[in-house]
Structure 1
Amino acid sequence: MSEPRSDALPGCAVVTRLLGGNPAGTAARMTSWLLIEQPGPWQADALERVLAEAFPPGRLDVLRAGGLRPLLVRRPGRHHRSPDARRAVFVASGRPGWRWLERIEVSDLAELAALDLEAVGAGVPGHGVPVEGPMFLVCTHGSKDMCCAVLGRPVAGALAQNHPDRAWEVSHLGGDRWAGNLLVVPDGFLHGQLGPDEAALVAKAALAGQVEPEHLRGRTSATTPWAQFAEIALRKAMGYRGVDSAVAVDERPVAGSDGHARVVTVLGVEREYEVVVRRNGVVGSGVSRCSGRIEPPSFVTEGIRPLEPVALPG
């Protein structure tokens, strides 16, 4: 039997859903952001072209490795840009206890070179006009992966109708197979497998200072997939909705697990919990037309144990 034509195969996000892939524990690590408005169509390398115009080679390498994430943003809808138009630039921090969002306007990308990006990466504010968040950033970077455009644009359009001042399209976030992807800034939570209805619930929760745990890929400042998964597991088990109601503070391997299982200590609302998370390999395998073979990872929670509250002196 001959192999099916690639254009007859479903997209990677569809294959992932059919395989039962769970987005929990799959968020790309991001602790701070540089968001540059770039209307118009985006080529696959659009972000790198913009950064090359704004910064000397290598300027962002260390910062990106440390968690600063540069991204392009644009308003949902038809994309046109006047060559004389000023553009918005946002800088933000998403670390627990250090969340903030600020706006700058520039007429030339070269102006960005004056930004103190080391301070931004360290979570230090004071670069522009404070903005009351959240921003809703939906990946629609179709030249990177078609699923982001096919599944992301309806989400971006729906959010733009209900939250026109907060909704933006964003360049590649990582994890095309989890499209539609929605990043909430500066809260720092990445959600996946969203349609317009699910995105509306995420937005409603974020506007109330809460987190919608269903379809949550993870807190982007968490250091590992195990930490992300453990936080989500505790949120669901305890009904935690607050932005900082579940924060991983420690992690250690389970003896004899060959690194596949870890004990994650998560700070909850009133005490710490130990959450045992195991990575079981993949849930299945399938072929897509946009990303080749798809093998979604599988994490499971093996136990949640409350720790004794820490006695404070005095």
Structure 2
Amino acid sequence: MTSGARFFCADAARARGDAFTGTAPYGCVWVLIEYRRSWPANGFDGLDLDPEIKELVFSAARASRARVLLVRRPGRRRPDGSDRWAVLRHDGFGALRQQWGSWRLDQDLAQILTALQSPGERGRPPVILVCAHGVHDACCAVRGRPVGRVLSERWPDLVWECTHVGGDRFAANVIVVPDGVYYGGLDAASSITVVEEHLADRIRADHLRGFTTLYPPQQAALAAVLGRFGPAGRNDYAIVGTVRGEDGWHIRVSGGAPHGRVLDVEVRARRTPPRRLTCRGPEDGSALIYEVVSVRDG
């Protein structure tokens, strides 16, 4: 990069070859709030809403360990009318549940509290979120919005832009919820392939950041298995054992039909040298990298 040139964290990360495996934030519950006007840099927290309602939503979300995201449809603005909200959850037993509602007044968002305590409906199609939070990080807009447009042309009912999801330097980031699967480093062409495969229950290792139901070393182990043996369904493999040792983690992965195998995966972690990790961050930071040392039959 020449002196004085604008810094883009995603360009720098790709030039360095930053690894994104094992970078999906842990979580099983998401609160989506449609907001069609400009998004503040800090998302929902920055909205000019009734403070009591905002605190009620935040408190309920914290109690449920839910992530709150603002969403909107890519590239177009609907006419005036009610916005939507949703509570989506991966219930820990493989069931995917959703509950949707609408809001006009701030007080309508109190419905989210009840939804967080309800099981929700099964059988709904997944929601495809594309981070396009440009005021949080420029790369989320530069790389995220074109991906949102091309995906929404193909799946208009499934795709939403969303606020910050983490890992700005891996833009474009796509998250499928409530499946709980993060993908990164996407562009228009690769995003179509990745989402097509995901909707066919064929999760690929390339571009996979991880499953949000797993912790980072487990995410890295499962990605290594998918990389070696090819795409598989969301629930085709399970982590059946994780042991922390002096040098890292010993993780046992079990595969059901048609992937009937038990594999032992060794994972180690290391820190990168300090580097600039986001467009907005003025200071360098160090990232934790999870590296798979070996994959062998268990």
Match of 1:158 in 2: 150
Shift of residue 30 of structure 1? 2.0
8 Å CA contact retained: 1:191, 1:216: yes
Higher mean C-alpha deviation, range 276-285 or range 170-179: 276-285
Aligned twin of 2:254 = 267
Superposition RMSD on alpha carbons, in Å?
2.6
**Per-residue deviation at 1:186?**
1.9
1 CA distance for matches of 2:54 and 2:280? 33
Structure 1 counterpart of 2:136, from 135, 139, 144? 144
Q: Give the C-alpha shift of residue 264 in structure 1.
A: 1.7
Paired residue for 1:11? Answer: 8
1:88 is aligned to 2:78 = no
SS of equivalent to 1:55: helix
1:238-296 per-residue CA deviation (whole Å, 9 max, x = no partner) reads 22410112232432212x32xxx111222322344221101132277457653343644
Aligned residues of 2:131 and 2:144 also touching (Cα < 8 A): yes
Given residue 170 of structure 2, which amino acid in structure 1 is its aligned partner? W
Distance 1:103 1:118 in 2: 11
Deviation at 1:203, TM superposition (A): 1.3
Matched with 1:48 is 45
Please give the residue correspondences for 1:16-95 in structure 2 after superposition, counting only pairs within 5 Å: 16-50=13-47, 53=50, 55=53, 57=55, 60-61=58-59, 63-64=61-62, 67-79=65-77, 82=80, 85-94=81-90, 95=92
TM-score normalised to structure 2 length: 0.87
Contact persistence 1:34–1:89 (CA under 8 A): yes
Counterparts in 2 of 1:91 and 1:288: CA distance versus 1, 3 Å: closer
Q: Residues 237 and 61 (structure 1 numbering): CA distance in 2 closer, same or farther, change over 3 Å?
A: farther
Q: Please tell me whether residue 201 in structure 1 is matched to residue 193 in structure 2.
A: yes
Distance in 1, Cα, partners of 2:227 & 2:47: 40
- Asked if 1 retains the 8 angstrom alpha-carbon contact of 2:133 and 2:162, the reply is yes
Specify the alignment match of 1:125 in structure 2.
Answer: 120
Query: Which amino acid is 1:279 matched to?
Result: A
Counterpart amino acid of 2:228?
Answer: A
- Paired residue secondary structure (1:298): strand
User: Equivalent pairs: percent with the same residue?
Assistant: 30
In the aligned structure 2, how far is the partner of 1:195 from the partner of 1:263? 34
Counterpart-to-counterpart distance in 1, 2:129 and 2:17: 25
Aligned partners of 2:132 and 2:140 also within 8 Å: yes
Q: Which has the higher mean CA deviation after the structures are superposed, 155-164 or 70-79?
A: 70-79
Secondary structure in 1 matching 2:201: coil
1:107 aligns with: 104
User: Please, which runs of 5 or more residues in structure 2 have no aligned partner?
Assistant: none
Check conservation: 1:213, 1:241, Cα contact below 8 A: no
* Alpha-carbon contact 2:203-2:234 (below 8 Å) kept: yes
Deviation at 1:81, TM superposition (A): 6.4
- Of 159, 166, 169, which residue of structure 2 is paired with 1:174? 166
List per-residue Cα deviations over 1:136-176 (Å, max 9, x = no partner).
11000011111101110010011111111111100110111
DSSP-derived class of the 1:235 partner: helix
Secondary structure in structure 1 of the residue aligned to 2:85: strand
Contact kept, 8 Å, 1:91 with 1:102, in 2: the verdict is yes
Shift of the alpha carbon at 1:220? 1.0
**5+ long unaligned stretches in structure 1:** 308-314
Q: 1:137 to 1:274 in 2, by over 3 A?
A: same
| Deviation (angstroms), 1:105 | 2.2
Change (3 A) 1:175 1:207: same
Distance in 2 (alpha carbons) for counterparts of 1:268 and 1:65: 33
Corresponding residue number in structure 2 for 1:312: none
What letter corresponds to residue 189 of structure 1 in structure 2?
V
Task: Give the Cα–Cα distance (whole angstroms) in 2 for the partners of residues 248 and 51 of structure 1.
Answer: 43
In the TM superposition, residue 86 of structure 1 has moved relative to its aligned partner by 0.9
User: Does the 8 Å CA contact 2:204/2:230 hold for their aligned counterparts?
Assistant: no
Distance in 1, matches of 2:25 and 2:59, equals 16
Task: Give the structure 1 partner of residue 281 of structure 2.
Answer: 291
Provide the secondary structure at the position in 1 that maps to 2:117. helix
Q: Is the 8 A contact 1:15 1:294 kept in 2?
A: no
- With a CA cutoff of 8 Å and minimum separation of 6, indicate the structure with the bigger relative contact order: 1
